[in-house]
């Protein structure tokens, strides 16, 4: 059996000075300082992450040097229990109090002018929200990207539905929160039960992951940041970046909706909405160069990632004009600014489902509702699940696959619009509503909205999913496909694909209400969706 490989900490760069910052309980956190040569006090840019402050994966030294050139002191820290920092290795352990204590230490240093700002993606975006929830007065602004307070949680859906469990979170716990170092290991996602595959990994590792056990053996898991604590803290100017193709976009929008609904926080919230995936793969780059495998780790990329946040921080330091409330990228349509999201002037375009021909799983989308009484029906076979849209859920763009052939699968329902005669720009939320019935008490529904070119090639625009439990008869649903900025060009069509499996990104639903991690059998499921009439299947688009 292959052995798991630990990724040791990289050397501290020669232009950084490592210090140990004490927390209130005596635990010390390893922290790199990148300080200007003139010794003058500066605003400090703080990043707190679990993936090695000196490693290649997150290229923090490059980002720190970009901040330094812009006039900031840069402070990069391994979080508690990770790499060179002391403490127990647990997911999201103490990030609120550790964030407060770190800011307290940084703000009191002679090289800091008493102001601290924070930046980072994913987990190190969450540590910013945790620090904001702690309410330290020296924290002047934050720029969380591709993240949310509810990391790892399954969010509730509409109409009494729930979300689905992504396989990636347990993988994160097993590989990044078993040891201070991260671990490389390839899981066999076709194994049944999946739980046994993780036990095989722990056997090869030689010990268990306390973080994995805490999260997976506790009902509801552990909230990364208490969102109510964040909402009651003093508001901090926040530039929240969301990726149209990000694995965690639903978590980002959950927090944004809560912040926008809070009278105290609303005016402090700014949005940057980008056509990127979780690893910062760019839609524009991938479309221009389809063979691109990943984002290169270069100084130019560091500048691109950090510059919007530094411009934002400059404003709050009094060195720049006020930023736009919303900056958003339209796929195939460039960058735009707006006073709100959705942009003022946007409206709703509704496309209704209908059945075409004698094939029950094939339908159409049109602006007129068909007569009620028809259904789309298909049979899902868990033994041959529908493949996920990409090889890596974190690299949805750079490892994407061609979705054209899925149209021919008998276990997918497909609805196509007519070709658009003129370009249409989507800018805002998208949702699919209807009624569903299944011959299983528990069924997942995965929705993909695709752009179909005149050549027939299909690519992803948006996706959404929901779990239906305690099914008995028809169940009303409304599934959010989240938000997008996307220009549908003349001659292109919209396609909706409906499926009950998404392998391996989502854990298989055994159909009986039990755990997919413990399931051995893969069920066949017959599913029906009503079409026709105002209450039948319909797609709500936000258009300019």
3-class secondary structure, 141: strand
Topology annotation, domain 347-543: Jelly Rolls (2.60.120)
Locate the DSSP E strands across 132-215.
139-145, 182-184
Q: Which CATH number fits domain 16-153+223-323: 3.40.640.10, 3.30.70.1890, 3.90.550.10, 3.40.50.1820?
A: 3.40.50.1820
3-class secondary structure, 263: helix
* 313, burial (CB in 10 Å: exposed 0-12, middle 13-18, buried 19+): buried
| Structure confidence at residue 318 as a pLDDT band (50, 70, 90) | confident
What is the pLDDT at residue 293? 59
| Structure confidence at residue 437 as a pLDDT band (50, 70, 90) | very high
| Structure confidence at residue 321 as a pLDDT band (50, 70, 90) | confident
Alpha helices for 221-298 (secondary structure H): 227-232, 249-260, 263-266, 283-288
The yes-or-no verdict on residue 36 having pLDDT over 80 is yes
The yes-or-no verdict on residue 297 having pLDDT over 80 is no
Share above pLDDT 90 across residues of the chain, in percent, rounded to a whole number = 83
Per-residue pLDDT tens digits for 257-271: 999 999 999 999 999
Q: Answer yes or no: are the C-beta atoms of 204 and 4 closer than 8 Å.
A: yes
C-alpha to C-alpha distances, 103 to 22, 98, 122, 201, nearest whole angstrom = 11, 9, 20, 37
Q: Are strands 334-338 and 347-355 parallel, antiparallel or unpaired?
A: unpaired
The yes-or-no verdict on residue 222 having pLDDT over 90 is no
| Structure confidence at residue 194 as a pLDDT band (50, 70, 90) | very high
Per-residue pLDDT tens digits for 141-183: 999 999 999 998 888 888 889 999 889 999 999 999 999 999 9
Residue in 48, 59, 34 with CA at minimum distance from that of residue 109: 34
The yes-or-no verdict on residue 111 having pLDDT over 80 is yes
The pTM assigned to this predicted structure is 0.95
For residues 221 and 366, the model is more confident at 366
What is the pLDDT at residue 292? 60
Mean pLDDT value across the chain: 93
Side-chain-side CA neighbours of residue 16 (13 Å): 22
Domain residue limits, the chain: 16-153+223-323, 167-216, 347-543
Per-residue pLDDT tens digits for 239-259: 999 999 999 999 999 999 999
Domains 16-153+223-323 and 347-543 share a fold: no
Per-residue pLDDT tens digits for 373-409: 889 999 999 899 999 999 999 999 999 998 998 988 9
In DSSP terms, 476 is beta-bridged to: 435
For residues 393 and 319, the model is more confident at 393
């Amino acid at each position: 059996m292959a052995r798991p490989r630990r990724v040791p900490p990289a050397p501290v760069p020669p232009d950084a000075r490592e210090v140990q910052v004490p927390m209130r309980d005596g635990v010390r956190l390893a922290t790199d300082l990148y300080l200007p040569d003139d010794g003058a006090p500066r605003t400090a840019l703080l990043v707190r992450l679990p993936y090695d402050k000196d490693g290649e994966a997150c290229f923090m030294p490059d980002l720190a040097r970009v901040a330094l050139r812009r006039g900031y002191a840069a402070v990069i820290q391994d979080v508690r229990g990770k790499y060179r920092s002391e403490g127990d290795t647990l997911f999201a352990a103490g990030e609120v109090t550790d964030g407060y204590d770190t800011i307290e230490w940084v703000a009191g240093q002679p090289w800091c002018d008493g102001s601290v700002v924070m930046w980072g993606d994913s987990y190190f975006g969450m540590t910013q929200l945790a620090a904001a929830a702690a309410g330290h007065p020296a924290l002047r602004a934050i720029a969380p990207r591709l993240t949310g307070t509810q990391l790892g949680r399954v969010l509730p859906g509409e109409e009494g539905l729930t979300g689905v469990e992504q396989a990636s979170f347990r993988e994160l716990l097993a590989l990044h929160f078993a040891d201070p170092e991260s671990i490389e290991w390839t899981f066999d996602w076709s194994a049944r039960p999946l739980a046994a595959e993780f036990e095989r990994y722990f056997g090869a590792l030689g010990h268990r992951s306390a973080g994995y056990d805490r999260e997976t053996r506790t009902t509801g898991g552990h909230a990364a940041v208490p969102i109510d604590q964040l909402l009651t803290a003093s508001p901090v100017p926040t530039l929240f970046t969301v990726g149209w193709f990000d694995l965690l976009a639903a978590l980002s929008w959950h927090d944004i909706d809560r912040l926008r609904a809070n009278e105290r926080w609303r005016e402090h919230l700014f949005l940057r909405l980008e056509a990127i995936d979780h690893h910062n793969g760019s839609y524009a780059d991938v479309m221009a160069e389809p063979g691109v495998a990943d984002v290169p780790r270069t100084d130019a990329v560091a500048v691109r990632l950090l510059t919007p946040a530094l411009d934002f921080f400059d404003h709050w330091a009094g060195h720049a004009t006020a930023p736009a409330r919303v900056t958003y990228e339209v796929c195939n349509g460039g960058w735009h600014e707006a006073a709100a999201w959705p942009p003022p002037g946007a409206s709703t375009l509704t496309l209704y489902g209908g059945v075409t021909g004698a094939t029950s799983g094939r339908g159409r989308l049109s602006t007129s509702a068909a007569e009620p009484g028809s259904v789309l029906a298909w049979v899902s076979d868990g033994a041959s699940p529908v493949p996920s849209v990409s090889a890596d859920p974190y690299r949805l763009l750079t490892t994407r696959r061609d979705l054209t052939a899925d149209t021919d699968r008998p276990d997918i329902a497909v609805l196509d619009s007519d070709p658009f005669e003129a370009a249409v720009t989507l800018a805002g939320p998208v949702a699919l509503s209807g009624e569903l019935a299944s011959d299983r008490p528990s069924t997942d529904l995965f929705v993909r909205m695709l752009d179909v070119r005149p050549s027939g090639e299909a690519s992803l625009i948006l996706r959404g999913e929901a779990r239906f439990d305690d099914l008995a008869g028809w169940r009303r649903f409304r599934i959010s496909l989240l938000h997008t900025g996307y220009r549908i060009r003349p001659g292109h069509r919209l396609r909706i694909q409906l499926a009950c499996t998404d392998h391996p990104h989502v854990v298989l639903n055994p159909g009986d209400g039990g755990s997919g991690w413990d399931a051995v059998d893969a069920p066949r499921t017959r599913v029906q969706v009503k079409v026709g009439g105002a209450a039948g299947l319909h797609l709500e688009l936000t258009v300019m």
